[in-house]
Amino acid sequence: MKITVLDGYTLNPGDLSWDELNKLGVCTIYDRTSQEEVIERSWEAEIILTNKTVITAEHLKSLPDLKYIGVLATGYNVVDMSAAKEGNIIVTNIPAYSTPSVGQMVFAHILNICQQVQHYTEEVRNDRWTKSPDFSFTDTPLIELLGKKIGLIGLGQTGFNTARIALGFGMKVWAHTSKSRLQLPPEIKKMEIEQIFRECDVVSMHCPLTEKTSGMVNSELLSSMKPTAILINTSRGGLIDEQALADALNNQIIYAAGVDVLSTEPPQADNPLLTARNCYITPHIAWATLAARQRLMSIMNENIKAYLSGKPINVMN
């Protein structure tokens, strides 16, 4: 059986092993694959694995031997799901592998904004402290999280994990969620999205990108936030109207934003967030800790084993 990995580099840049996968079939692993190369590289493969390489209906119609697509991520929007279903092709994803790491990144951004560790480290290296007339110096707001309200837009596994971390800092946790109030622990308050944006000190995005949620964080919601508020997005870049967020930051409508995702990745050079005031951007790395990638690869192998046994798991279609 032939297995093709279309874009294995981000999952495994060299610090993990493909040995378990190689035991399951004849494997060909590519670091990256362009759209024009998908058919040629996947020819005669029964299984293809992809992270961000898009699999279109045209690709699927041209690959008669294909029976299984393993998406090496939680989101599966890179596959034309209707065409896969029509072709009786199983599509699986990797659920919950990065939950602890993403929650950690949420608070890496929050703490960076609140404490400005990088800024002060650079100032000390530039001899500002050695030349200070006082034992200490500050030139940015330093923000304590105790008692602050954090609003979570979405309360799946990552949202819940982020809530637990927030509670550990003594924050008050509000959530916009489809879950009923009876399903929530007493320390998490269910709120409407408008109230969260209006009253919370920090708003963190944890919902999927759909037609309904695309661009949901718009100028209207942003203009309702406190001027001291912080927006965090480690979910999907398309949830936010990026020009509206840049305008809100540059006009001091809100204080700061920390984002790990953008609407186009890698971003266009003219993306307004790249130069926006108090906008802190990391290059979609919340998922990429060694531990998370080890879990991803382990679940990937288990998904394929389950498919080969005739009892597929984590099936999306």
Tens digits of per-residue pLDDT, 160-200? 999 999 999 999 999 999 999 999 999 999 999 999 999 99
The string of DSSP letters for 42-109 reads HTT-SEEEESS--B-HHHHHT-TT--EEEESSS--TTB-HHHHHHTT-EEE---STTHHHHHHHHHHH
- Predicted confidence (pLDDT) at residue 261 exceeds the cutoff of 90: yes
- Predicted confidence (pLDDT) at residue 18 exceeds the cutoff of 90: yes
CA 210 vs CA 14, 242, 250, 287: distances in Å: 33, 17, 28, 20
Q: What average pLDDT does the segment 93-98 reach?
A: 95
Q: What average pLDDT does the segment 143-169 reach?
A: 97
Q: Per residue in 43-52, pLDDT tens? A: 999 999 999 9
CA 226 vs CA 233, 249, 266: distances in Å: 17, 12, 30
pLDDT of residue 80: 97
CA 289 vs CA 27, 180, 243, 257: distances in Å: 25, 33, 30, 22
Give the CA count within 13 Å in the CB-facing half-sphere of 23.
6
Of the candidates 236, 242, 293, 295, the residue annotated as catalytic is 236
What's the whole-number average pLDDT of the chain?
97
CA 177 vs CA 190, 207, 303: distances in Å: 7, 9, 29
Q: Per residue in 51-70, pLDDT tens? A: 999 999 999 999 999 999 99
From the CB of residue 47, how many other CB atoms can be counted at a distance below 10 Å?
Answer: 25
Q: What average pLDDT does the segment 238-257 reach?
A: 98
- Residue 139 in 3-state DSSP? coil
Task: Say what percent of the chain tops pLDDT 70.
Answer: 100
* Residue 284 is among the residues annotated as catalytic for this protein: yes
- Residue 134 in 3-state DSSP? coil
What is the dihedral angle through the alpha carbons of 12, 13, 19, 23, rounded to the nearest 10 degrees? 60
- Distance CA(157)–CA(159), nearest Å, equals 5
Count of helix runs (H) and strand runs (E) in the chain = 11, 12
Report the phi/psi class of residue 252: left, alpha or beta, with left for phi > 0 and alpha for psi in -120 to 50. left
Of the candidates 44, 128, 265, 277, the residue annotated as catalytic is 265
Q: What average pLDDT does the segment 71-80 reach?
A: 93
Sheet holding 230-233, edge to edge: 188-190, 172-176, 149-153, 202-205, 230-233, 256-259, 279-281
Kindly state the tokens that stand for 35.
């759209």
Q: Per residue in 225-247, pLDDT tens? A: 999 999 999 999 999 999 999 99
* Residue 236 is among the residues annotated as catalytic for this protein: yes
Nearest of 47, 80, 77 to residue 63 by alpha carbon? 47
CB-based contact 189:175 (threshold 8 Å)? yes
DSSP one-letter code for 143: -
Task: Say what percent of the chain tops pLDDT 90.
Answer: 97
Of the candidates 176, 206, 284, 293, the residue annotated as catalytic is 284
pLDDT of residue 11: 96
pTM over cut 0.85:
yes
CA 54 vs CA 22, 57, 275: distances in Å: 23, 10, 29
Q: Per residue in 265-282, pLDDT tens? A: 999 999 999 999 999 999
- What are the start-end ranges of the H helices in the chain? 19-22, 38-42, 57-61, 81-86, 99-115, 117-125, 157-168, 193-199, 219-223, 242-250, 290-308
- Distance CA(205)–CA(90), nearest Å, equals 30
pLDDT of residue 75: 85
